[in-house]
Structure 1
Amino acid sequence: MREDIREQDRNIRKKAIIDSAEIIFYRKGVEATSMDELAKECGFTKRTIYSYFTSKEEIYYEVVIRAYQKMNVQISTEIKDHDIVSEAERLKRIALILIDFNQTNAAEFKAIVDFENKDIDTLLQNEIAAKCYEEGQFLVKVLTETLKEGIQKGEFRDDLDIGQTFLAMWSALLGMAHLMNYKKEYIKRYLEVDVYESVDYLFHIIIDSIRKEEK
């Protein structure tokens, strides 16, 4: 019983450290954040933090893993919806989840994007960083399998390059997420365009480019 309480207390403290790290990393960036600043943010001493984590990098990877897992749960729940009638609609729902996740979980989405800009070969040499990479592959798998399913069902072109199409979709969504983070009000005021409507428009352009022509 006592051991269970200790473990519960340990998990609460670890979560508190990760919560604080997510906030300060988003505000200042990982490299610019010192352990002293993190300790001040979470209200623990550096010694306490090091009793749970070996380094700032390990804490960062824990932030990334949690962000991926949270996003993956939302995607997994959505793609199991039996009301989805086509693979095109499934792609659209995934796209909207990513855009919405960016808006409602900005710090976590930024952690994911920053992680994906790092050198993969170096990351895979670190066990916990490799876990981040593994979690990140969930989205790749879901999107590529949806594209393959669309080809098999005759929705998408037979000559579709899965890898190139995934890259194009991911790049477009990241670009849209960036605009929503930094240019949303500018776009609304000067272009008189609703950004969420732009997401829908962007999606239709992508789907039209990969849809199989009816004979």
Structure 2
Amino acid sequence: MPPIVSDAHKENRKKEILNSAFVCFAKKGFQEATINDIVEHSGISKGAIYNYFKSKDEIYLELMSNQTVQVYENKKLELSKKKSAIEKLNFWFDAYLEMDPFLEENKAHFAIHIEFKLHASRNPELMEVLNERRHKYFVREIAEIISEGQMAGEIKQNVQPEVFADLFWSVIDGVVSQTIVYKDYPYQQTINEVKEMYLQRIMTTS
């Protein structure tokens, strides 16, 4: 009779695999890193890894999901304390202003994510997963804030919530991506300028 493995043990083993995968992806890049690299780093056999994940893609999606949910839940708690839509939009901009994109761990996250998006662009199933995540955790969040601001009279009625939500994340993604390559990129100044232009465009009092 095989030994009974507790749920806690399974969860810990899964975290070990994910942590090792992140290290390997950060070191070699998503495309170049292999399951064998994860085996070597984690000390967990290939068969055991495949008990938890069917593929490298699935490992990355779990990493991304865990990170997104954690950040999202933390941000939702803080957002609940903000009274107006403009305060909430300021909060989102300030969250990126306060982040240091040049920290190696942050740069690794950004680089791996960009690599995976390019990889996923050739796979309709992966693209569907990424698109669903984008709408659920990102576009919808900002679009709802904008709609709330329109109802309260803070935001102009001719602002299309989903379009400006997409604009917000497109700019943030674009600015962050520059820091992966350019060490002297004026990250905070750029975010500040974008914040000012964005809010001026949408606020009824601007």
The question of a shared fold, defined as TM-score above 0.5 by the shorter chain, is answered with: yes
- Number of equivalenced pairs: 199
Pairwise CA distance, 1:57: 1.6
Mapped partners of 2:133, 2:100: distance in 1: 16
Q: Which residue of structure 1 lines up, in the alignment, with residue 193 of structure 2?
A: 201
Q: Which residue of structure 1 lines up, in the alignment, with residue 163 of structure 2?
A: 164
Q: Which residue of structure 1 lines up, in the alignment, with residue 17 of structure 2?
A: 17
CA RMSD in angstroms, aligned pairs only:
2.8
Mapped partners of 1:97, 1:72: distance in 2: 12
Q: Which residue of structure 1 lines up, in the alignment, with residue 154 of structure 2?
A: 155
**Alignment gaps of 5+ in structure 2:** none
Q: Deviations over 1:5-24 (max 9, x none)?
A: 62211111111001111122
Pairwise CA distance, 1:204: 1.1
Q: Which residue of structure 2 lines up, in the alignment, with residue 190 of structure 1?
A: none
TM-score (norm 1): 0.78
Structure 1 residues 36, 20: CA separation in 2 closer, same or farther (over 3 Å shift)? same
The one-letter code of the counterpart of 1:12 is: N
Per mean C-alpha deviation after superposition, the further-off stretch among 100-109 and 34-43 is 100-109
Q: Deviations over 1:132-163 (max 9, x none)?
A: 65544122221000011111111111111222
Pairwise CA distance, 1:47: 1.9
Per mean C-alpha deviation after superposition, the further-off stretch among 145-154 and 95-104 is 95-104
Pairwise CA distance, 1:113: 4.7
Structure 1 residues 144, 92: CA separation in 2 closer, same or farther (over 3 Å shift)? same
Aligned to 1:154, the other structure's residue is in SS state coil
Per mean C-alpha deviation after superposition, the further-off stretch among 45-54 and 152-161 is 45-54
Aligned to 2:54, the other structure's residue is in SS state coil
Mapped partners of 1:135, 1:120: distance in 2: 17
Identical positions, percent: 21
Aligned to 1:51, the other structure's residue is in SS state helix
**Alignment gaps of 5+ in structure 1:** 188-192
TM-score (norm 2): 0.81
Structure 1 residues 16, 133: CA separation in 2 closer, same or farther (over 3 Å shift)? farther
Mapped partners of 1:23, 1:80: distance in 2: 34
Q: Deviations over 1:51-103 (max 9, x none)?
A: 2222222111111111211221222122111xx24312211212332452856
Structure 1 residues 67, 156: CA separation in 2 closer, same or farther (over 3 Å shift)? same
Mapped partners of 1:88, 1:112: distance in 2: 29
